[in-house]
Amino acid sequence: MRSGYTITWDIRGIVLRIILKRSGLLLFLLACFMSPLSQAQEQVARYGYSILNTYPHNINSFTQGLVYREGYLFEGTGKNGQSSLSKINLEDGEVLMSKSMSQRYFGEGIEIVDDKIYQLTWQSHLVFVHDKATFESIGSHYNAVEGWGLAYDGSHLILSDGTATLQFMDPETFAPVRKVEVKLAGNAINQLNELEYINGEVWANVWQTDFILRIDPQSGEVNSIVDLTGLSERTQLGSSEAVLNGIAWDAEAERLFVTGKHWAHLFEIELVGL
């Protein structure tokens, strides 16, 4: 979504662009009267990107969760009647294994913990657990809030729910252990969506924007911002809902993959300082 306003390209500008994506003129005017941000806040690092490799991605996939593990991509998709979990060959996009979700459920983020795959539902308060090797159902857990994105820090699952809050859940029970509010230059940032845990940080797409926030998982503070503006123009978009969503990290080879809902491609990118 693009606003019609031109804003100075600094951290305040990014905050305003994130707010403007859904709120229009009223919040723009309110934001103009916000206190000036401190020098320190304006020094949040910003990154652009360069594309290292381009791979096929199913343009029909309403991508909700993306994970890279042991040579394969795992993807969870959304929409009632179209939600699924798939294991995919990175190079050619071939689907090696897939499991559809009941039409009753709207699939959301996924994450892998050891030999289990967790798959969120949006508003059904259910988290499904599948065997990673077979996709057979292992069980389910209750989730009190909406399910949006999921990541794993080595001890807890990290859950986004459409607000600015990240919750840290016990993988055995999916009970919340603690939570943080994500703030960029003092502003809570709502609609955190797909997540990835990378080198001690939580990375989060902000829904309907080209931004990925890099978040300190202890404080919730945004350390830096990855601006992927223009990347959606490097692929075909399959619907009006096609937006950046999907971050996967190959921890062994340190490769970063991103894609979007209804994008025809998945990109390996590297960050470039701005």
Residues that bind Ca ion (CB under 5 A): 66, 196, 247
Closest CA to 72 of 53, 56, 94: 94
* Dihedral over alpha carbons 92, 98, 101, 103 (to 10 degrees): 70
- Written as one letter, the residue type at 118 is Y
228: enclosing H helix or E strand: none
What does the block give as tokens for 242? 């096609």
Q: Is 26 exposed, middle or buried (0-12, 13-18, 19+ CB in 10 A)?
A: exposed
For 234-249, give the secondary structure using H, E and C: HCCECCCCCCEEEEEE
C-beta of 11 vs 117, nearer to Ca ion = 117
Q: How far is the CB of 201 from Ca ion (least distance, A)?
A: 13
Q: How far is the CB of 40 from Ca ion (least distance, A)?
A: 30
Give CA 7 to chain center in angstroms.
25
C-beta of 196 vs 227, nearer to Ca ion = 196
H helix runs in the chain, sequence order: 11-32
C-beta of 101 vs 120, nearer to Ca ion = 120
Q: How far is the CB of 258 from Ca ion (least distance, A)?
A: 10
Q: How far is the CB of 67 from Ca ion (least distance, A)?
A: 5
How far is it between the farthest Cα atoms of the chain?
55
C-beta of 69 vs 179, nearer to Ca ion = 69
Q: How far is the CB of 249 from Ca ion (least distance, A)?
A: 7
What does the block give as tokens for 127? 């988290």
Q: How far is the CB of 58 from Ca ion (least distance, A)?
A: 17
The CB-nearest residue to Ca ion is 196
C-beta of 196 vs 221, nearer to Ca ion = 196
C-beta of 185 vs 258, nearer to Ca ion = 258
Q: How far is the CB of 203 from Ca ion (least distance, A)?
A: 8
C-beta of 108 vs 196, nearer to Ca ion = 196
What does the block give as tokens for 170? 């016990």
What does the block give as tokens for 126? 């259910």
Distance CA 114, CA 122 (A): 24
